[in-house]
């Protein structure tokens, strides 16, 4: 029995020494990598995929790896521009901010809806607004009046084209469902809504006749008057289920002094939730609505892109020390090719974004945001097991090698630690 105990003690001692040796070895290997990875290895991996572009990697804002084909160039960020836009919004408002829409009663028979640029004024919000209106106004009204004068209308961001693609949607102070309609056209030609919460309206039925069979989300940019009217038609159709009916017409009208204030409707979505959706789905409409609404906080009316860019440029200078004359910005979604940033400008953004770690989604295992235009492919975000490395990738080349580079970045930092 005594001999057995001695053997057990020796075995335990030997195992302990072995475990300690392995832990020490792993610690120093990890420490060595943490001090400085093999950057030449990363260069060999990514260089063949960068014909015209830049990859910058940093830690705590300090550049550790920088490969570029043009050191003096500013790059088109595409939709990665939505990342600094999110930070700008969080500085203008707090993350629990709720966008608002105002409701007024005119002469006890007309209902006026005043838009203030809510970027997430969708069918579900219109339903909730109808429930809040119940009991505050008569169940039968005459005209539905729409006030979209807080923004200049129509608002077309640079880069937006006259197409039915959702990313080409126009902006405005009072627009619904991101100024788009989701429809399904069946083989027999019948049209249905592709969203159960969104009823068909006369305009969407008409538009549905012009599309190919299948499910499609189309924007209403071809005619601004159609976009505005659709907002009214959708409100009427949804509110009819809440026993609120209109006997008159849908008209545009500015709020008047004698209009009776009825309701300040607050969106059920917080700013943080809206920013998460904007970044995840890369929604151009939401991004520019936020930019325009931020200016509305100061100017109060007649906002356009030219006036909304001014406070954003001031924010870049105050927040990051970037001279307004050295940064090119014309809108906030990234759809314009006139937007230009340097990789170092975006790095400063990523440092600050660490205060809001749950805003970004994942791409190829990297917490990041993509950006794409024809011949423009970008990716910004974080790498490493603890997201401790910031990286900026801007490509302006015919071949899209972003996915390959992202995989190399992920593999390099995953295997090296």
Residue 74 CB coordination number (10 Å): 16
Total domains present in the chain: 2
Statement to judge: residues 297 and 260 lie in one domain: no
Total-model pTM: 0.89
Nearest Cα neighbor of 391 from 417, 414, 367, 371 is 367
Statement to judge: residues 124 and 71 lie in one domain: no
Domain annotation covers residue 15: no
Domain annotation covers residue 201: yes
Interatomic CA distance for residues 301 and 279, integer angstroms: 27
Domain boundary among 269, 287, 312: 269
Beta-carbon contacts of residue 375 (< 8 Å; ≥ 6 apart): 396, 397, 398
pLDDT in tens, 44-101: 999 999 999 999 999 999 999 999 999 999 999 999 999 999 999 999 999 999 999 9
Domain annotation covers residue 407: yes
For residue 33, pLDDT over 50 is answered with no
Give, in order, the Cα–Cα distances in Å from 290 to each of 4, 84, 199, 216: 75, 12, 27, 25
Statement to judge: residues 107 and 252 lie in one domain: yes
Statement to judge: residues 280 and 262 lie in one domain: no
Domain annotation covers residue 28: no
Beta-carbon contacts of residue 160 (< 8 Å; ≥ 6 apart): 168, 169, 170, 221, 284, 335
Residue numbers of the domain that contains 174: 100-269
Question: Can you give the CATH number for the domain in which 309 is found?
Answer: 3.40.710.10
Domain annotation covers residue 16: no
Give, in order, the Cα–Cα distances in Å from 58 to each of 193, 384, 392: 47, 11, 9
Question: For the stretch 261-277, what's the b/e string if a residue is b when 16 or more beta carbons lie within 10 angstroms of its beta carbon?
Answer: ebbebbbebbbbebbbe
Euclidean distance between the first and the last CA atom of the chain, given in angstroms as a whole number: 46
For residue 146, pLDDT over 70 is answered with yes
Interatomic CA distance for residues 403 and 410, integer angstroms: 11
Instruction: Give the phi and the psi of residue 112 in degrees, each rounded to 5.
Output: -110, 130
Statement to judge: residues 116 and 251 lie in one domain: yes
Statement to judge: residues 244 and 157 lie in one domain: yes
Detail the DSSP E strand segments found in 26-92. Answer: 53-59, 62-68
Domain annotation covers residue 301: yes
Nearest Cα neighbor of 348 from 363, 327, 332 is 327
The arithmetic mean of pLDDT across residues 164-180, rounded, is: 88
What is the per-residue pLDDT for 15? Answer: 57
């Amino acid at each position: 029995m005594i001999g057995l105990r001695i053997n057990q003690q020796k075995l335990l001692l030997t195992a302990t020494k072995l475990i300690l040796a392995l832990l020490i070895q792993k610690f120093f290997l990890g420490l060595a990598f943490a001090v400085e990875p093999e950057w030449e290895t990363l260069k060999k991996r990514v260089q063949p995929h960068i014909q015209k572009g830049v990859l910058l990697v940093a830690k705590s804002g300090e550049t550790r790896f920088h490969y570029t084909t043009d050191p003096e160039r500013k790059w088109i960020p595409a939709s990665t521009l939505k990342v600094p836009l999110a930070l700008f919004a969080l500085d203008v408002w707090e993350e629990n901010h709720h966008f608002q829409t105002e409701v007024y009663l005119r002469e006890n028979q007309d209902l006026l809806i005043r838009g203030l640029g809510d970027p997430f004024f969708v069918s579900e919000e219109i339903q909730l607004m109808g429930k809040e209106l119940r009991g505050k106004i008569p169940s039968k009204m005459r005209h539905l009046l729409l006030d979209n004068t807080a923004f200049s209308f129509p608002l077309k961001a640079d880069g937006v084209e006259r197409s039915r693609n959702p990313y080409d949607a126009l902006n405005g102070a009072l627009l619904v469902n991101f100024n788009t309609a989701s429809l399904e056209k069946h083989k027999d030609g019948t049209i249905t809504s592709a969203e159960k919460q969104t009823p068909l309206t006369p305009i969407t039925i008409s538009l549905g006749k012009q599309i190919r069979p299948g499910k499609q989300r189309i924007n209403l940019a071809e005619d601004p008057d159609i976009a505005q009217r659709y907002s009214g038609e959708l409100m009427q159709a949804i509110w009819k289920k809440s026993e609120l009916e209109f006997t008159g017409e849908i008209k545009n009208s500015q709020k008047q002094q004698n209009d009776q204030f009825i309701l300040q409707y607050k969106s059920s979505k917080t700013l943080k939730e809206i920013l998460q959706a904007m970044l995840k789905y890369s929604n151009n409409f939401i991004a520019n609505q936020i930019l325009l609404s931020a200016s509305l906080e100061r100017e109060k009316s007649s906002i356009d892109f030219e006036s909304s860019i001014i406070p954003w440029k001031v924010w870049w200078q105050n927040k990051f020390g970037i001279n307004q004359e050295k940064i090119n910005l014309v809108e906030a979604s990234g759809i314009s090719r006139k937007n230009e940033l340097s990789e170092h400008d975006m790095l400063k953004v990523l440092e600050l974004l660490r205060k809001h770690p749950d805003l970004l989604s994942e791409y190829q295992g990297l917490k990041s945001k993509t950006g794409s235009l024809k011949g423009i492919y970008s990716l910004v975000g974080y790498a490493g097991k603890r997201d401790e490395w910031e990286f900026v990738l801007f490509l302006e080349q015919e071949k899209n090698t972003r996915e390959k580079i992202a995989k190399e970045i992920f593999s390099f930092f995953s295997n090296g630690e």
